[in-house]
Structure 1
Amino acid sequence: MLPDYPFATPPAAGETFQVSPGIHWLRMPLPFALNHINLWLLEDDDGWVIVDTGFALDAVKECWQQVLARLATTACGGRISRIVVTHFHPDHLGLAAWLQELTGAPLLMTLGEYLTAHAVWHEVGGHGNQPMLTQFRAHGLDPERCAALERRSGGYNRGVPRIPTAYERLRAGDVLTIGRHRWQIRVGFGHSPEHAALYSADLGVLISGDMLLPKISTNISVFAVTPTADSLADFLLSIDAYRELPPETLVLPSHGLPFHGIENRVAALHAHHEERLLVLEEHCATPRSAAELLMALFPRDLDTHQTMFAMGEAIAHLNRLEHAGRLVRIEDDDGLVRFVRKPGAAQRAGKPAASR
């Protein structure tokens, strides 16, 4: 089934739109080039379940206050019974603590996402801006762009001013009963440590979070704490699992429009990433760093925020090629990491970096 978009117009900020029985769509602003996030309200027996919370902006808080006031006038009432967060990124977790304070609802997340949020927020255990800058310098990013990234230090905390200090753990395969419907937790990897999507066979609906987007490609990055991770393989294996869902499944993504056509979208993402891998492989006839390859992957001007994602994505694709035996990682005496297409294609300045 080719992608099909049953709802051509998203709801305005602060408004809701019903996309399936008991499922309501909200769209909130983001302060980036990707300027929106889709959030979801699910009708519960005696209230509502919120899925994802938005970035911590005053405008988003105002939207939520309008929505919550309107919910109080509905047949379900205004009670928020649970807050489910798909993953730790600030556009998803950002206002969870604030909404908890307003509503008293418990937070539900996977262990990997909850603990990573705390590690990133506190910049501990290899997480945070400084480890990222050390990683990017090793992969060839120039001092000017590193300095611009350093000036953005604290960006996660601005998007997530507070993290709830208690949560209920979600595990892969868990089933949440929300109103009259059952929702299975489907965990995916590659975009974040333990991303939770929600699938209702009753309704034929998948709330995919960032794991499956209709037009743009989900960011797949390698982080400083896991420098040799094969994040792209993890992601592609995760989305392959969606192929088992019925072709008529309605996918509710975090960005873009709801759509039908899982098989086609998964196939398109595989093709997109293989094309990117081939481009990098071609450019690595001689040793190249991730930073030297940014223009090959992203032939346009990148702002500082986009550079951060682009570097993570370039490293993820180079790691995939290394794991597949298509490139070799080399490291010079100054710690600069490059990749080359064939062993012996260029003299190594130092000993090979360890690879798994």
Structure 2
Amino acid sequence: MADGVITSEGETATGAPGLRGLAYPLGDPPTPGEAAEAAPGVLWMRLPLPMALNHINVYAIEDGDGWVIVDTGLQTPDSVEAWEAALTGPLGGRPVTRVVCTHMHPDHIGLAGWLCERFDAPLLMSQLEYITGRMLASDTGPAPEDGVRFFRAAGWAEERLERYRQTYGMFSKGVAPLPAGYRRLSAGDILSIGGQDWSIVVGNGHSPEHVCLWRRSDGVFIAGDQILPRISSNISVWPTEPLADPLADWLRSLDRLGDLLPAETLVLPGHGEPFTGVLPRIEALKRGHAVSLKRLARTLRTPSRAIDVFPSLFARPVGDGLLGMATGEAIAHLNHLEAQGKARRARDADGVDWWTTLETEPEE
């Protein structure tokens, strides 16, 4: 999972269908250091990211005389500068009372420890996200041979495997030290912020126990990366759990959210712009992955490595900077077909997995 530092949210992600049914009621995003009102008592801020996906949205919720912060950005000088401007500007110099992180990817937890220490504020996360984040932040190397075997099996060349060895441990570079303790958030919890109740909704697949916040009283849903408006959340398999089927977890989460959320919900996502139209978006995401899986099954009529199936999943060429994430997402789709009895793998003498379809007449 260490390559998830460049994640999270896939410029290479599959299932980027049309945006019919979506509306963006808040207009242009705020510049770093500024804020826009997303809903009563909720400010929308945007921080820069030094990658193809060049921003993350963070939110501040009024909490009496202070603010609850939801997600924090990556630990970079640009993000710190934007926070300094926001804290003295639109946040009015008022203290941060709590820090909530939706999940453990570095662009979401990177400055959580910095904010918690600065304001003596507690960190709130789900258990699996906190533990996984602490684990990855402390894993600075050397690169495990299990990881090398994993990416060799996917078809990586030896020179790219050597680069993996040399750059392993980048997760910690984007994350300030996390607090030694936290307050657990679990599905169904009610979080009181400024006299308003926010229900904790948990999703899976993009990360282990992703927290979303839902203010039922007016239909505001802080989604993190569980639902994004313009791209599909990155759903990947990593060396820590090579046989996982996170795509099944994510699709089940989409089904639950589709049953739970009203049609008029205002979604405040981790990337892209706040939007309405959550139900058609959920259906489009599910449809996009179904189409990708059909294309993948057709591709596997010819034995293929994970790196060979990129064209059936991604709309653009995969450059070296996105190879780790694209590989993880390709394996997630291959594992999903395998779990459904529609594909199998065979490892050759060089340690490379070759995938083939088990469908005699793949559906067109």
Q: Where do 5+ consecutive residues of structure 1 fail to align?
A: 346-356
* CA pair 130-25 structure 1, distance change in 2 beyond 3 A: farther
1:170 Cα offset (Å): 0.8
Q: Which residue of 2 aligns with 1:6?
A: 25
Code of the aligned partner of 1:272: G
Percent identical: 44
8 Å Cα contact 2:206-2:250 kept in structure 1? yes
Mapped to 2, the partners of 1:341 and 1:140 lie a distance apart of 18
Matched, 1:233 2:226: no
State whether structure 2 residue 172 is matched by structure 1 residue 153: no
Would you say how many aligned residue pairs link Structure 1 and Structure 2?
Answer: 341
Structure 2 partner of 1:92: 108
Name the counterpart of 2:70.
Answer: 51
**Separation of aligned partners in 1, 2:61 and 2:37:** 10
Contact 1:242–1:262 (8 Å) recurs in 2: no
1:285-331 CA distances to partner (integer Å, 9 max, x unpaired)?
13211112123323533333311110000000001111111112222
SS of the equivalent of 2:354 reads strand
Alignment of 1:177-192 (within 5 A): 177-192=192-207
Q: 2:290 aligns with which of 274, 281, 286?
A: 274
Go from structure 1 to structure 2 and tell me whether the alpha carbon gap of 1:116 and 1:128 turns closer, same or farther (over 3 Å shift). Answer: farther
Match of 1:318 in 2: 334
Decide whether aligned partners of structure 1 residues 127 and 279 sit closer, same or farther in structure 2, where only a CA change above 3 A counts.
Answer: farther
**What is the match of residue 140 of structure 1?**
155
Matched residue, 1:61 = 80
Distance change (3 Å), C-alpha of 1:263 and 1:286: same
Contact 1:229 1:316 in 2 (8 A): yes
Once the two structures are TM-superposed, the CA of residue 235 in structure 1 deviates from its matched residue by: 0.4
Instruction: Say whether the 8 Å CA contact 1:213–1:255 is kept in structure 2.
Output: yes
Is the contact made by 1:189 and 1:195 (CA closer than 8 Å) also made in structure 2? yes
Aligned partners of 1:178 and 1:334: how far apart in 2?
A: 56
Tell me the CA shift for residue 41 of structure 1: 0.2
Deviation at 1:343, TM superposition (A): 8.1
Q: Which residue, 253, 256, 260 being the options, matches 2:269? A: 253
**Aligned to 1:31, which of 50, 67, 75?**
50
Q: Label 1:227 to 1:306 Cα distance change in 2 as closer, same or farther (>3 A).
A: same
Contact in 2 for aligned 1:149/1:308 (Cα 8 Å): no
Q: Is residue 198–residue 214 contact of structure 2 (8 Å, CA) maintained in 1?
A: yes
SS in 2 for 1:330: strand
Give the TM-score taking structure 2 as reference length.
0.89
Which segment is superposed worse, 335-344 or 61-70?
335-344
Helix, strand or coil for the counterpart of 2:336? Answer: helix
Distance 1:53 1:247 in 2: 28
Structure 1, 255-264 or 63-72: larger mean CA deviation: 63-72
Task: Select between 180-189 and 82-91 the one with higher mean Cα deviation.
Answer: 180-189
2: CA distance, partners of 1:188 / 1:12: 29
Give 1:150 shift: 3.3
Code of the residue aligned with 2:241 in structure 1: it is T
CA distance in 2, matches of 1:313, 1:282: 17
Higher relative contact order (CA 8 A, sep 6+): 2
1:139-218 mapped onto 2 (5 Å cutoff): 139-218=154-233
Structure 1 residue aligned with 2:306: 290
Give the drift of 1:147: 3.0
- Match of 2:351? 335
- 1:87 touches 1:93 (CA, 8 Å); kept in 2? yes
> Corresponding residue for 1:80?
96
Match of 1:353? none
Aligned-partner Cα distance in 2 for 1:3–1:333: 50
Does the aligned pair in 1 maintain the 2:150–2:239 contact within 8 Å?
yes
> What is the CA distance between 1:278 and its match in structure 2?
1.1
Deviations 1:1-58 (A, max 9, x none): 9111102200010001101100000000000000000000000123110000100011
Structure 2 portions without partners, runs of 5+ = 1-19
1:180 Cα deviation after fit: 2.4
Letter in 2 for 1:144: E
Is contact 1:198-1:206 (8 Å) kept?
Answer: yes
More displaced stretch, 21-30 vs 282-291: 282-291
TM-score, normalising length: structure 1: 0.90
Contact 2:48 2:56 in 1 (8 A): yes
CA distance in 2, matches of 1:27, 1:333: 49
Q: Structure 2: how far apart are the matches of 1:289 and 1:199?
A: 41
> Counterpart amino acid of 1:185?
I
Residue type matched to 2:95 in 1?
Answer: R
Code of the residue aligned with 1:270 in structure 2: it is K
Give the deviation of 1:130 after TM superposition.
5.4
